[in-house]
A and B are shown apart, each in its own frame.
Chain A
Amino acid sequence: AQTVTQSQPEMSVQEAETVTLSCTYDTSESDYYLFWYKQPPSRQMILVIRQEAYKQQNATENRFSVNFQKAAKSFSLKISDSQLGDAAMYFCAGGPSNTGKLIFGQGTTLQVKP
């Protein structure tokens, strides 16, 4: 069984500052992928970043980066230089590499203050 837990229902950040969203992923699988999705008010699900569990190097996409601590089952998302357009609900998700079965966390609503 897999579980994805996001313990922060809401977070806020000042524009141009940095914020970190937390996630824990528990699985018995050895080969899996982790993702962060963004859902703005338009409700469109947008992939922000992905991480292969077997890779030691943390993924980075422009202002978005992850800190993947495999032993601690931690997968946090860091957003640098926050922009107003980053305001959205962020979902952590994961799944075994060969199934496509994504399990989502509860989501964290991010507010960006001007």
Chain B
Amino acid sequence: DTAVSQTPKYLVTQMGNDKSIKCEQNLGHDTMYWYKQDSKKFLKIMFSYNNKELIINETVPNRFSPKSPDKAHLNLHINSLELGDSAVYFCASSQDPGFSYNEQFFGPGTRLTVL
């Protein structure tokens, strides 16, 4: 049973296209996250939702828009893709915001390649 799943695992697309990455968690968690890992392996948080409400919104181009239809899903939509968007995108979830009693569980990542 996959705890945090992402689709697709690999995504290759042309510059200028619009694409979405989907994330689902079956852990019953209230909080979900998106992280970006660049070509140098540097991981940076992008967004976080708690109970479908945006609680972390880092300095990310507004071409990136997260959407949480329900607590178990957090999708990432990217408009007008650029070469610099090529990266691995990780979804994660935790019981609630904060670290006191829980950890963040990561999905397998989606490797996005923009040509």
Give the shortest distance, in Å, between B17 (CB) and chain A (any CB): 23
A11 within 8 A of B: no
**In contact, A101 and B45 (Cβ under 8 angstroms):** yes
Partner of A100, one of B40, B90, B98: B98
A64 within 8 A of B: no
Binds A, one of B20-28, B71-79, B102-110: B102-110
Q: How many residues of B contact A (CB 8 A)?
A: 26
B56 within 8 A of A: yes
Q: How many residues of A contact B (CB 8 A)?
A: 25
**In contact, B41 and A89 (Cβ under 8 angstroms):** yes
**Given that A44-B108, A100-B48 are known contacts, is A50 also in contact with B103, CB under 8 Å in the complex?**
yes
Chain A positions 27 through 69: 1 when the CB is less than 8 Å from some CB of chain B, otherwise 0: 0000001010001001111110010000000000000000000
**In contact, A33 and B42 (Cβ under 8 angstroms):** no
A33 to B43 Cα, complex, angstroms: 17
Partner of B99, one of A39, A45, A50, A107: A50
17 example contacts (A-B, Cβ-Cβ < 8 A) are as follows A33-B99, A33-B100, A35-B103, A42-B108, A43-B108, A44-B108, A45-B90, A47-B103, A50-B99, A50-B103, A96-B98, A97-B98, A99-B98, A100-B99, A102-B35, A104-B43, A106-B40
